[in-house]
Structure 1
Amino acid sequence: MERIGTRKLRVMLVPLPLQGHLTPMLQLASVLHLRGFSVIVAHTEFNSPNPENHPDFTFIPLKDGVCSPSANLLDMISAINTNCKEPLEKCIVELQGQLSCIIYDSLLHFVDTVAHHLKLPTIFFRPSTAVYMQSYLSLLSLHGKMIIPLPGLCVSPVLCKHTVYNLMYDLTTKLLAESHLEEAVPELHPIIRFKDLPLSVLSKIPQVVIDFVKSFSDIKSSVAVIWNSVEILDDFSIHQQYQVPFFPIGPLHKMASSSSSMPTSLLQEDPGCIAWLDKQALKSVLYVSLGSLATLSSEALVETAMGIANSGQPFLWAIRPSSVAGSEWIECLPQGLRGVIQERGLIVKWAPQKEVLAHPAVGGFLSHCGWNSTLESLSQGVAMICMPFFGDQMINARFSVHVWEVGVEIGNMADRKSIEEAVRALMVDEQGKEMRCRAAEIKHKLHLSMVKGGSSCRALEDLVEFITSLSAPK
């Protein structure tokens, strides 16, 4: 890459310390390093990445005041935004003008405040789709116009001594709510319904949440936006509202090339599952993982296990420790059921997901539809059973099923019969074969986007040139 004089250009990346945000940021660091940049990662002490896994980067810890994971993510993110401001400013000052720019996770608005004060350009990083970002802007607009909460759904029932009247009221309200939730959201992609939005529209949204959404929807003084997304999968009409260059350079785990093999997981992966997959028939295994944040009730775990067991399909199931309410791991599974399902499959605490999805034995993925998992699945041509829980997962699932047509959706409280039917539809029925064909087509299109002349490759070339220009003499 071009250098300014003889000095190698240096960029700083500031990731949010959650798996779904940290992983693509470290992949972005690998992409930039491969293009000749010197990379500094300024990170929180909480969920700190292991520097030994990334010897080419310089790591600088920021004192964050987060002693332990918080059940309230908003509180944790707020604490980081407050407590890391001073340490970051001190760090930048000590570097004495060596940085070309700072690339920061969109939830860490303190970075732009510090950088703007020090007259250092920032680039906003979104690890999700542009459609998901647009959904938050739509929520703010609907809230401002008082369209949400949806009318008629927040009133209290008239107290009545006749229980039947209250039951009728509850049923009418439920039917009304379900009807409204199925409606398309104005100004969004027509496939997105009110029920797919990341926040509930059936009750008043607390002001603290509105303020939080406004904070990460505003790119402030940032001079560009980097997306871990791809033109063929997304809708970038949101560009009209930001008026800065957009660089959709995803899928980052593929764009990082050989460096993508470097560990980015905060959890210990079990590589032994690959040897187990080696013994399975081609496209026969259902891979199951619900991500790094979602939790299941013990009842939901049993229903999921029974549905998978009754399907008769071999499976590899990654169940994160402490992801089942009231259990350290899978103690709540009845011993007999545990024996039955382990005869047919393998349960591990965490899996090397990219390697698993690339394995020829894997024929489907039961996923929470986080964006990293969705991209990794599509990049390998693996069709999905979509079990979304929160955040962008509903929109990703909706696109998987109704736009890309590579998935079948079930609710996160699905019973064993629904799960069994979904597994059979994906792994056995003609419907699943058709979804796998479409997934293979998307895999090919994603490959074309990353090679010379493809959209992601061009966007990356433009990004390198753009960052280089930020250090050019004015």
Structure 2
Amino acid sequence: MAGARRVVMFPFPFRSHIAPMLQLAELLRRRGLAITIIHTTFNAPDAARHPELTFVPMHECLPDGVTDPGADLVEQMLALNAACEAPFREALRWVVRRGQVGRWREVACVVVDGQWYAALTAAAEVGVAALALRTDSAATLHCMLSYSCLFSAGYLPIKEESCDEVLPPVEPLRGRDLIRVDGSDAERVREFIARVDNAMRTAAMGVVFNTFRAIEKPELHKIQRQLPTLAKFAIGPMHRLLGAPEEHGLHAPDRGCVAWLHALPPRSVLYVSLGSVARIDRQMFDEMALGLAGSGVPFLWVIRPGFVTGIADEAPSLPEPLTAVVTNGRGKVVTWAPQRDVLAHPAIGGFWTHCGWNSTLESICEGVPMIVQPCFGDQKVNARYVTHQWGVGQELGEVFDRDCVTEAVRRLMVGEEGAAIREKARRLKAKARQSVEDNGASTVAIDRLVQYMVSF
């Protein structure tokens, strides 16, 4: 019986990971499960926003520099796993004991973020069934699980002369689309992926995906062959299944930008946001700005603090041509935007995105075509699927300058190619909507997930 059991959840402490974990927590709570969130003190979720959930903070001790802005992302993830394994194990044991003595409902299972490979192992040691929540795409997990195969087949390491060749084990991905983090050591990236792979195969009982079958059915089938003993649940898009308001944990959103959109024609505005983590140098920033100014297309651009390297706490100055565009009202710059509301606005005709999975799903759900500028990690996988598998976006190209930016923006927003992409995006939006309707595939999957959880 769902109402008699408790599920423990452990989000990875990045904003793009915390939000989907809390979405899943609310979906499970609505189906009668009690929820406890174990969390790090680093980037802790805001418990006050979720009074119906129970929050248990850990007291991890992180090495110096791990939490610094601009820290090596791969080293950060490896260090977080090493530092949090023991505190998580103890926190989980504490929650289990409270259930055993009757102070709380008995623990059914634990759901940990898929990047917490150490926590998956720790949960098994405590004797609690563990499921992994993948906050990225099924295609990304398939890519990670394929790395050892890619090495044994001689596809890795990628050679410069073959980086544009499609790799058969992970088609449609090319060498350049594989997971990597610029500035991080390739061997350390491979080590992290190998640890995730091993934990999934040895310690997880199941895996939950924030995706839907209509968009990633082939990838889900491939994962079934790679992980045949794991239970699998595709329950996305979770934000649409939940119908919940957007979480804003990084910056307070400028809601004035939505009012600004009201005055603009349908499908006329390009929304530009490269997410909550990516950073670019001043030269690239200027080329983006000058390309936008030269396109003649109205735009809404999110420029958060720290977005441009070397400028930590204030917005960079805009090149003069862009300043004039903003002054005359054809463009607007904000430090943060209510992204779901923006993407749902009829004035939005395109989304220039880093292709983080949350942003990709949100764009798909609103039928907004994309210009892709992946920065690192799984974003490169997502970008390839957006452009070459689903056909709902286009690449900027390898050359990045103001002329290429202007051409890409105009091609998407006012060209015939953009119209064709927009029609594909409209059809994909319909499939996303169908997945979360009554008896839709994702609605059925979340009910199956609850039944599976209380079976332990």
TM-score between both structures, scaled by the size of structure 2? 0.90
1:119 equivalent in structure 2 = 127
Q: What SS does the corresponding residue of 1:233 show, helix, strand or coil?
A: helix
Contact 1:249–1:456 (CA under 8 A) maintained in structure 2 = yes
Structure 1 306/204 Cα, relative in aligned 2: closer, same or farther at 3 Å?
closer
Contact 1:69–1:76 (CA under 8 A) maintained in structure 2 = no
Taking the TM superposition and a 5 Å limit, the aligned residue runs for 1:379-394 are 379-394=365-380
CA deviation vs aligned residue, 1:120-159 (integer Å, no higher than 9, x gap): 1000111112211121232222224544224xx5xxxxxx
Distance (whole Å) between structure 1 residues aligned to residue 349 and residue 57 of structure 2: 41
1:370 equivalent in structure 2 = 356
Distance (whole Å) between structure 2 residues aligned to residue 116 and residue 369 of structure 1: 33
Distance (whole Å) between structure 1 residues aligned to residue 10 and residue 398 of structure 2: 32
| 1:361 has 2:347 as partner | yes
Structure 1 412/84 Cα, relative in aligned 2: closer, same or farther at 3 Å?
farther
Taking the TM superposition and a 5 Å limit, the aligned residue runs for 1:140-159 are 140-150=148-158
Contact 2:350–2:413 (CA under 8 A) maintained in structure 1 = yes
| 1:309 has 2:293 as partner | yes
Give the deviation of 1:335 after TM superposition: 4.6
Q: What SS does the corresponding residue of 1:363 show, helix, strand or coil?
A: strand
| 1:444 has 2:443 as partner | no
Q: What SS does the corresponding residue of 1:458 show, helix, strand or coil?
A: helix
Runs of 4+ in 1 over 4 A off after TM superposition: none
Give the deviation of 1:264 after TM superposition: 4.6
1:69 equivalent in structure 2 = 68
CA deviation vs aligned residue, 1:402-423 (integer Å, no higher than 9, x gap): 2211111114762111111111
Query: Which range moves more in the overlay, 414-423 or 63-72?
Result: 63-72
Taking the TM superposition and a 5 Å limit, the aligned residue runs for 1:25-424 are 25-66=21-62, 68-69=67-68, 71-95=71-95, 96=97, 97=99, 98-150=106-158, 177-178=160-161, 180-189=162-171, 191-199=172-180, 205-206=186-187, 208-218=188-198, 219=200, 220-234=202-216, 235-236=219-220, 237-243=222-228, 244-257=230-243, 260-328=244-312, 329-335=314-320, 337-343=322-328, 344-411=330-397, 414-424=400-410
Give the deviation of 1:392 after TM superposition: 1.5
Give the deviation of 1:340 after TM superposition: 3.0
CA RMSD of superposed structures (Å): 2.1
Structure 1 149/77 Cα, relative in aligned 2: closer, same or farther at 3 Å?
closer
Give the deviation of 1:31 after TM superposition: 1.2
Contact 1:14–1:41 (CA under 8 A) maintained in structure 2 = yes
CA deviation vs aligned residue, 1:268-324 (integer Å, no higher than 9, x gap): 222221111122211111100001111111111111111111111111111121110
Q: What SS does the corresponding residue of 1:238 show, helix, strand or coil?
A: helix
State the identity as a percent: 37
Distance (whole Å) between structure 2 residues aligned to residue 115 and residue 433 of structure 1: 49
> Match for 1:128: what amino acid?
D
Larger radius of gyration: 1
Q: What SS does the corresponding residue of 1:442 show, helix, strand or coil?
A: helix
1:427 equivalent in structure 2 = 413
Q: What SS does the corresponding residue of 2:233 show, helix, strand or coil?
A: strand
> Match for 1:58: what amino acid?
T
Distance (whole Å) between structure 1 residues aligned to residue 45 and residue 109 of structure 2: 21
1:160 equivalent in structure 2 = none
Query: Which range moves more in the overlay, 365-374 or 130-139?
Result: 130-139
Distance (whole Å) between structure 1 residues aligned to residue 83 and residue 164 of structure 2: 41
Distance (whole Å) between structure 2 residues aligned to residue 19 and residue 466 of structure 1: 28
| 1:24 has 2:20 as partner | yes
Structure 1 214/106 Cα, relative in aligned 2: closer, same or farther at 3 Å?
same
Give the deviation of 1:228 after TM superposition: 0.7
In structure 1, the gaps of 5 or more residues are 154-176
Distance (whole Å) between structure 1 residues aligned to residue 43 and residue 181 of structure 2: 29
Distance (whole Å) between structure 2 residues aligned to residue 468 and residue 117 of structure 1: 20
> Match for 2:194: what amino acid?
K
Distance (whole Å) between structure 2 residues aligned to residue 252 and residue 24 of structure 1: 7
Structure 1 121/317 Cα, relative in aligned 2: closer, same or farther at 3 Å?
same
1:454 equivalent in structure 2 = 440
Distance (whole Å) between structure 2 residues aligned to residue 375 and residue 32 of structure 1: 21
Contact 1:63–1:83 (CA under 8 A) maintained in structure 2 = no
Contact 2:369–2:392 (CA under 8 A) maintained in structure 1 = yes
In structure 2, the gaps of 5 or more residues are 100-105
> Match for 1:221: what amino acid?
A
Distance (whole Å) between structure 1 residues aligned to residue 318 and residue 128 of structure 2: 54
Distance (whole Å) between structure 1 residues aligned to residue 375 and residue 181 of structure 2: 12
Contact 1:54–1:262 (CA under 8 A) maintained in structure 2 = no
Give the deviation of 1:331 after TM superposition: 2.5
